[in-house]
Amino acid sequence: MKDSYRHKGLRSQLIKVLREKGIKDEKLLEAMGLIPRHLFLDNAFEEWAYRDVAFPIGSEQTISQPYTVAFQTQLLEIKGGMKILEIGTGSGYQACVLAELKAKVYSIERQQSLFIKTSKLLPEIGYNSIRTLFGDGYLGAPKFAPFDRIIITASCPEIPTALKEQLAIGGKLVAPLGSQQKQTMVLLTRLSEQEYDLEPFGKFAFVPFLKGVVKVD
């Protein structure tokens, strides 16, 4: 799979845009600068890979806008070795960003067609350590809990109780909270067994967080 000088140049320009938009975590920017984002899109749409926009990837899902990926990831303040649960694998791009930051990544996808496609792609492009799971994101991954960080990449009216319970004490969860039309990015910190702190961080737009799974016929 080709990652040309042209691709690297486009990636460098994208990182410059993210820096200008206020992303300050240099380790995060460096990580995003290493990932060949065009490999997560079909060849016909490669030109869209390094624009700061979301783009459809099939199954009514999108690859998130690079700025949104960076914003959510920056809020989590990731350190190497942290165990992270991602809800909504999608293309796998966000999971790769987390892996480049040396996190132990577990990622759940409810669309079996996407799960199969992405689980095949990730090792092919060098990301062998990401653990992909097919299942209902509302239920999380209790088998692997607790998690130091949880990231939800779809809009939810409220944060599922199961995910809050799978967060380690002192752990952080980031999610777009609200209706399908309008969401506020929030950072939830678990202070104790029963106490949580919630901080808002601006408006965003995501596809909806749906329950259940969609299997391939």
Q: Describe the crossing of helices 26-34 and 93-100 by its angle, rounded to 10 degrees.
A: 120
Task: Report the run of H or E that residue 105 belongs to, with start and end.
Answer: strand 104-109
Instruction: Round to whole Å and give the CA distance between 86 and 172.
Output: 12
Report whether 90 contacts 107 (CB < 8 A). no
Q: Is 64 a catalytic residue?
A: yes
> Which amino acid appears at position 157 of this protein?
P
Region class of 140: left (phi > 0), else alpha (psi between -120 and 50), else beta:
left
* Residue of 64, 91, 107, 119 marked active site: 64
Task: Report the run of H or E that residue 83 belongs to, with start and end.
Answer: strand 83-87
Active site residues: 64
